[in-house]
Structure 1
Amino acid sequence: MNIRALMRQLNQEKIVFLLTVLLLVIFSLTLKNFLSPDNILTLMRSVAVLGILGLGMLIVVLGRGIDLSLVATMAISVAWAMQLVSQGVPVSVALTTGLLFAIGMALVTGILVAYAEIPPLFATLAMATFIYGFGRAHLIVGTDVVYMPKDMGWVISLGQGRLLGIPMPILVALAMALLVYLFLKFTKVGNFIYAIGDNLAASRIGGIAVRPILVLQYVLSGAIAFAAGVITATSVQAMNTRIVNSNMIYDVILVVVLGGVGLSGGRGNVRNVIVGTMLIGVLMNGMTIMDIQYTVQNVIKSLILLLAIVVDSVVNPRDEQTGQQGDI
C-alpha cells in the first residue's frame, strides 16, 4: 500500500530528479574527482547557456508552440553585435542593435504563427534557415567564427567573471530563471500563456488577446536567446555561427521535455527546466570524463529525447485542438 501511494505521488519531474541523484552517486563512486568543487562548477557552467535557452523554449512551449530558431537567433545576433564592435561601433550601440535584430526576427516569427496561422514547427524551422542565411550573407560575410573584440568592456565579465567564487554564467542563469518564474507565476500575461496552452479556444472566448500574447512569447524567447548568446560569446571569446548546424536546438528541447514540460501546452514551470538541465549536465559531464565519443553522446541524448517525448505523449495526450496548433 505504501509503495502504491508512493507511485501515485511520483511524476516525471520527480523521477528525473531521482535519476539525477542516482547518476551523481554512480559517477562519484566510479569517476575520480567527479564531486570535487571545481568539477561541479565546471558542470554547472557548461549547461548554464543550455538552461537559459531552455527558459526561452519553456515560454513558447507553454503556449503550445515550439521555437527551432532559438540557436540561429542567438548565434547571428551576437556575432553581428561583436563584429560591429570590432568595426568601431560603441559596445552599447552594438549590443542594442544585436538585441533589436533578435527581437525583430522573433517578432516576425510570432506574426507568422499568430496571424498567418502557420504551424510553429514549420514557421520556426523556416525562420532559423532564413536568419542563418541572411546573417551569413549580409551581416557577417566571409567568416564562420567572429572573435570577441578586446574592447568589450564590462560585458566580458558576464562570461568570464566570478562572484564569491561562482562563475558569472551560473549566476546569470539563476537570475534569469528567477525572472521567468516571477513572470509566469505573478503576472497576468504569464497566467494567460498557461491558459492559452491549456485551452486556446476557451481563452479566446474568455476575452484573452490570444494573438498578441502568442507573438509576445516568441519575442521573449528571442530576447532570452540573445542573452544566452552574450554569455556564450564572452565565455569562449568567440561566436561560432556553425553552432546553428549542430544538435544544440535538440539539447534545448531535451532539457525542456525531459524535465516534464508538456509539449501539448499549459503544463510546466521553471523548475522542470532546471531539473532537466541538471540531468543532462550530469550525464554529459560524466560521459566527457569517461572519454565517450561525441557521436556516441549524441546517440545517447537522442534516445533519451525520444523516450522523453514518448513519456510526454502518455502523460500529456494530444487532442484535436493541439494538432491544429501545429504541436510537434
Structure 2
Amino acid sequence: MFSRLLGHQAWSQERIVLALAVLLFAVSAALLPGFLAPNNLISIIRSVSVLGILALGMAVVIIGRGIDLAVVAIMAMSAAWYLQLLNDGWSEGAALLVTVAGVLAIGMANGFLIAYADVPAIFATLASGAFVFGYVRSQLITQDAVPVPPGHWLETLGSGRFFAIPAEVFVFAGAAFIAYLFLRYTKWGRFVYFMGDNFQAARNLGIPVRPMIMLRYVISALIALAAGLLTAASLHSINTRVVNSTLLYDIILVVVIGGIGLSGGKGGVRNVIVGALLIGIMLNAMTIIDIPNIYQNLFKATILLIAIIVDSLLNPRDEQTAQQGDI
C-alpha cells in the first residue's frame, strides 16, 4: 500500500510540474516581449533538448541510486576533442572512433571506481570530471572554443529543420524513446530499478550489481557525448568553459524537480521531459527579463534545495541508508 502511495505522489508531482510549465509558458507569453518570437521559441526548444538529453543519462544513474558529476565535463571535452581532431586533419571515422573509445574508457573508469574500488559516486565522478577537463584542455585541444569544420555534418544537423522544427527535438525524442525502452522493457532496465530500490536485495537475487553499475556510467558518458555533439551542431562550436557553468546543477534540478527520487528506484523518462520543459522555460524567461546571473543562480539553488527537501519527504531513505547516515 505504501509503494502505491508513493507511486501516486510521483504521478501527482509529474502532473504538477507539467501544469507549472504550461502556466509559466502562458504567463511569459503574455507578459514578456519577444517570448513568442520564432527565434526565441527555437532557442527554448534547443535548450530543452540538450538539457533533456543530459538529464536522461543522469536519470539512469540516479534511478540506480548513484550520481554522475562528470557528465558536463565529458559532454564538453569529448565534443571539443572530436572537433579538434577533425580540424587537425583526421578523417571522420577515425576521429569519431577515437572519441567514442575515450568516452567509453571514462565511463568504465567511473563505474570501476564505484563498483569495484568502493569509491563513493559523488567523489569518483567529481574527481574524474576535473581530470577530464584538465587533461583534455591542457593536452588535447588548443583553445577554449573549438569550431565545427565548414561543411561538416554537424553544421548540417544544426541548421536542419523538419516542418520548421529544429533537428535537436527529434534527437531528444529519439533518445527519450530509447531510454524508455531500455528502462521499461529490458532486463537491464529492470535491474537498474531493483538496485535503486534495494541494493542488497538485488545482490541477493543474483543481479550482477557491479557490472550494472559500470553499465550505467558508460550509458551516462555516451549520452553526454551525444549532447556535446548536439550542442556543437546548434552553436557550430563547443566552448569548454561550460564546464565551469551551472549546467550540472540545472541537470540535477531537471531530474529532481521532474520527480525522480534521489533515493533511487523510481521515476522515468516522462519525469525528465516535464522537468526539462519547466526548467528550460524558466531559464529563458529569466534571460529575457535580464536577471543577472548571480540572482539566477541564487533562484535556481533555492529551487533545487526545496526540490531536494520535498524529495526526501516523498521518498524517505530506507533502513539501510538511514543506518549508514547515523553518527
Name the residue aligned to 2:173: 174
On the 8 A contact 2:10/2:267 being kept in 1, the answer is no
Aligned partner of 2:282: which letter? L
Judged with a 3 Å threshold, the aligned counterparts in structure 2 of structure 1 residues 17 and 133 are, in CA distance, closer, same or farther, namely same
Which sits farther off after the overlay, 185-194 or 94-103? 94-103
The DSSP-based 3-state class of the residue aligned with 1:11 is helix
CA drift of 1:258 comes to 0.7
CA drift of 1:9 comes to 9.1
Name the residue aligned to 1:259: 258
Describe how 1:106-117 pairs up with structure 2 within 5 A.
Answer: 106-117=107-118
Judged with a 3 Å threshold, the aligned counterparts in structure 2 of structure 1 residues 232 and 324 are, in CA distance, closer, same or farther, namely farther
Identity %: 50
Describe how 1:300-315 pairs up with structure 2 within 5 A.
Answer: 300-315=299-314
Name the residue aligned to 2:52: 51
| 1:149 paired to 2:149 | yes
Q: 1:213-251 CA deviation, whole Å, 9 max, x = no partner?
A: 110000000000000000011211111111111111111
TM-score under structure 1 length normalisation: 0.92
Name the residue aligned to 1:231: 230
Runs of 5+ consecutive residues of structure 1 not aligned to the other structure? 1-6
Name the residue aligned to 2:158: 159
| 1:61 paired to 2:87 | no
On the 8 A contact 1:64/1:322 being kept in 2, the answer is no
Q: How many residues align?
A: 318
Which sits farther off after the overlay, 218-227 or 282-291? 282-291
Distance 2:9 2:271 in 1: 19
Describe how 1:36-115 pairs up with structure 2 within 5 A.
Answer: 38-115=39-116
Aligned partner of 2:248: which letter? I
CA drift of 1:44 comes to 1.3
Aligned partner of 1:215: which letter? M
Runs of 5+ consecutive residues of structure 2 not aligned to the other structure? 1-7
Name the residue aligned to 1:192: 191
CA drift of 1:297 comes to 1.4
Judged with a 3 Å threshold, the aligned counterparts in structure 2 of structure 1 residues 53 and 150 are, in CA distance, closer, same or farther, namely same
Distance 2:69 2:217 in 1: 11
CA drift of 1:38 comes to 4.7
The DSSP-based 3-state class of the residue aligned with 1:262 is coil
Judged with a 3 Å threshold, the aligned counterparts in structure 2 of structure 1 residues 207 and 10 are, in CA distance, closer, same or farther, namely closer
Q: 1:3-52 CA deviation, whole Å, 9 max, x = no partner?
A: xxxx9796221221121122122222212353455533331112211110
Name the residue aligned to 1:269: 268
Distance 2:270 2:33 in 1: 30
